[in-house]
């Protein structure tokens, strides 16, 4: 048995600096900026969200700007296998931490380990 849930809405930004993008989305969504440099490498900014809301993460990317979803799980291998069974394909294993996958519809998404200390309350339970 394992668990998973939607955890993050990732706003991919083709930009040299995320500060302007973070400011726009902060104002558009009425969410304060938590950080404009989450990992110290200038690639991730985060807005403040409540524990029962998805995380809103901005990511600096080289490809076209778009939005993708992250699914968090307490068993990465089991969740990836479950999604493959539904028709998704593995694209890349990144930083030995998460899988980029592609849905049958062509949409890219990520499968990640738990992102918050409290893993819930809106969990799916898979047997």
DSSP-derived secondary structure for 29-47: HT--EEES-TTSSSSEEEE
pLDDT of residue 52: 83
pLDDT of residue 63: 93
pLDDT category of residue 18 using cuts at 50, 70 and 90: very high
0.75 exceeded by pTM: yes
CATH class, range 2-116 = alpha beta
What is the distance, to the nearest Å, from the Cα of residue 74 to the centroid of all Cα atoms in its chain? 15
């Amino acid at each position: 048995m394992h668990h998973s849930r939607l955890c993050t809405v990732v706003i991919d930004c083709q930009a040299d600096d995320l500060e302007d993008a973070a400011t726009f989305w902060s104002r558009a969504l009425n969410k304060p900026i938590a950080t404009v440099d989450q990992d110290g490498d200038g690639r991730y900014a985060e807005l403040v969200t409540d524990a029962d809301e998805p995380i809103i993460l901005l990511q600096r990317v080289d490809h076209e700007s778009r939005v993708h979803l992250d699914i968090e799980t307490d068993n990465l291998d089991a969740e990836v296998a479950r999604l493959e069974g539904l028709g998704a394909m593995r694209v890349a294993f990144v930083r030995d931490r998460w899988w980029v996958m592609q849905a049958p519809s062509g949409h890219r998404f990520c499968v990640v380990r738990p992102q918050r200390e409290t893993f819930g309350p809106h969990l799916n339970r898979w047997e």
